Structures are given as C-alpha cells and as structure tokens.
Amino acid sequence: MKELFPLKQVMGFVFSLLLTAVALTVYFIDISFTNGMTILLFTAFIQAAVQLVVFMHAGESEDKGSIFTSIYYAVFIALATIFGSLLTLVWGY
Amino acid sequence: MKINHTLPLEYSTEENRLKILGFWIFLGAEIALFATLFATYFIMVDRTGSGPGGEEVFKAPTLIIQTLLLLTSSFTIGLGINAMRLGRAKAMINFFIITLVLGVGFIGVEIYEFVQYIHEGLTLQTSGFSAALFTTLGTHGAHVTFGVFWGLAIVMQIKKYGLTPETANKSFIFSLYWHFLDVVWIFIFSFVYLKGMM
C-alpha cells in the first residue's frame, strides 16, 4: 500500500494545497491590490512549477532539454501576448 | 520494435519517447492558446457595461470546491502513473477512475456556477467582461470534459489489453494533459477569480 503513495507526490500535493491556502488569504484578509497580486503571482508560478516537475516528470527523460526549451518558449509567447496586449490596449502607451 | 527494459514502459520504444516529446510541444501550443484567452480577459475585465462585474458574481465556496476537486484529481492521476510504473494495473485503473469522478464533479460545479451567473444577469452577451469570462472558463471546462471521455477510453483499453508499452504510453500522455489542465486552472483561480474578488 505504501508504495502506491510515494512521499514525493504526497508532499507535492500537500505543498500545492498550502500554496492554494496562501493564495486564498488575499480574499479573506484585507490587503492592497499590489500586495495581493504579488502573492498571487508568486503562488501561481510556484504551483505551476510543482505540477510540471513533481507530477509531469518534465525532467526525467533524455528529451529533458527539448521539453524545457519548448515550455520556456511557450511561456515567453504567453507572457509577450498577455503583457504586450495590456501595454498597447489597457495601459495606453 | 526495440524495447528498452531499463526505462519505464511508456518510454520503452523510440516511437513512445517521441510521442511524449510531441505531446509536450502540443502543450506549448495550448499555453499559447490560453494566453490569448487570458490577454482578452484582462483587456475586457473592466468592460462590464450595465451588467454585474466579477466582484459581484464570483463566490468563494464554489471556487474552493472546484479548486480542491481539480487539485486532488491531479494528485490521484499522478498516483495512477506511479502505480502503472510499479506494474499495478488494478490500482492504476482505480486511481484513474477516482480522477475521472473528480473531473466530473468539477464540471458539475462549473455548470452550477454558470447557471448562477445567468440568474444574476451575466450571460455570454451581457458585456465584454462576460464574453471573455465565459470563453476563458468555457474553453478550460471543454478541455476537462474532453479529458473525461479520453480518460474513460484509456481505462477501457487498460482493462482490455493490460499494461503494454502502447497503453502505458497513452496513459502517461493523458496524465500530462490532465496535469496541464490543473496548471491552467491555477492561473484561472488566481488571476480571474481571486484577482476579481480582492
């Protein structure tokens, strides 16, 4: 039975529940928008990293380099799309 | 077919290894897809017109339930893959079924939430905000719905053929998809719901 619940994954789950609880504090306590967003950016990206490395085993095969390159590239495209749109359409430069 | 027995079953042939790499590249494209939806949402978030805004319709209980369901399902499918690597087909099927039940629960709560929104006067056509919100949440929900059927098909194949390099590879790729949906949800949870409720 024990082998079905490896410590690494159980800890990953506990850690992601913890990050969710921390993220939820921005709703339950009175906090400024800037501080709240800082907490959310922090918890969201850490949690995404936990999923990729602990649960998706991104770094275990010989294609590790290609996998991380393609994910970093996708994240770059995502951030450029989101912040580029905000820059031109909302923040008004 | 050359089978390398030093590797987990799902990586054991070159074709399998390349399928996994190919799926990661597909997930890269999915990240770009969701980025366009998030960009649209962030532009539209204050364009509420005469309809309600996020701070009025978003509710903490449904959000927490959805998050716990999806987070737990991501954990159980991880355990399913672990069981698969131990050669425990039966335990693996059970973990996959738990995952799919949690996924169906998530979809159920999401549908309930959409009905609540409509009752509160927030429909797809209400405002720029509502259109972007329903499109972003709906695209994620549609992915989960598709995933439930895909997962069901995987469970049936494992039952029929047992653990072979082919079925193990399919199961592993499905687990990548499911974890990815959880990653997308983390961003929806943080930057659609919590940002709107702050």
CB contact under 8 A, B32 and A74: yes
In the 8-state DSSP scheme, what is residue B52? -
Please state, in angstroms and rounded to a whole number, the distance separating the CA atoms of residues B89 and A59. 25
In chain A, the percentage of residues whose pLDDT exceeds 90 is 68
CB contact under 8 A, A9 and B82: yes
Contact in structure between B97 and B155 (CB atoms under 8 Å) = yes
Sorting pLDDT into bands at 50, 70 and 90, what band is B9? confident
Question: B77 contacts in A (CB within 8 Å)?
Answer: 55
Contact in structure between B21 and B30 (CB atoms under 8 Å) = no
Please state, in angstroms and rounded to a whole number, the distance separating the CA atoms of residues A55 and B78. 6
Residue B2 has pLDDT above 70, yes or no: no
Please state, in angstroms and rounded to a whole number, the distance separating the CA atoms of residues B19 and B138. 28
Report the gap between the CA of A47 and the closest CA in chain B (Å): 8
Residue A2 has pLDDT above 60, yes or no: yes
Residue B21 has pLDDT above 90, yes or no: yes
State the fold for domain B54-197. Four Helix Bundle (Hemerythrin (Met), subunit A) (1.20.120)
pLDDT of residue A61: 81
* Distance (Å) of CA B182 to CA A16, A29, B31, B141: 11, 25, 12, 11
Sorting pLDDT into bands at 50, 70 and 90, what band is A62? confident
Sorting pLDDT into bands at 50, 70 and 90, what band is A58? confident
Instruction: Give tens-digit pLDDT for A66-88.
Output: 999 999 999 999 999 999 999 99
What are the residue boundaries of the structural domains of chain A, listed by start?
A: 1-56, 60-93
Please state, in angstroms and rounded to a whole number, the distance separating the CA atoms of residues A78 and B30. 10
CB contact under 8 A, B182 and A20: no
Mean pLDDT, chain A, integer: 91
Q: What is the mean pLDDT of residues B16-44?
A: 95
CA angle B16, B21, B25 (to 5 degrees): 140
Residues present in chain B in total: 198
Residue B3 has pLDDT above 70, yes or no: no
CB contact under 8 A, B186 and A48: yes
Residue A93 has pLDDT above 80, yes or no: no
CB contact under 8 A, B78 and A12: yes
Residues 6+ apart with CB under 8 A from A36: A26, B194, B195, B198
CB contact under 8 A, A13 and B75: yes
Residue B1 has pLDDT above 60, yes or no: no
Residue with tokens 């400024």: A32
B61 reaches A (C-beta below 8 A): no
- Interface confidence: ipTM more than 0.90: yes
Q: What is the mean pLDDT of residues A25-29?
A: 91
Instruction: Give tens-digit pLDDT for B72-95.
Output: 999 999 999 999 999 999 999 999
pLDDT of residue A55: 83
CB contact under 8 A, A9 and B79: yes
Report B:84-123 residues touching A (Cβ under 8 A).
Answer: 86, 88, 91
**Residue B20's closest CA among B173, B151, B181, B175?**
B173
| A-B contacts at Cβ under 8 angstroms | 135
Q: What is the mean pLDDT of residues B116-138?
A: 96
Chain A interface disruption, residue of B23, B26, B75, most A CBs within 10 A: B75
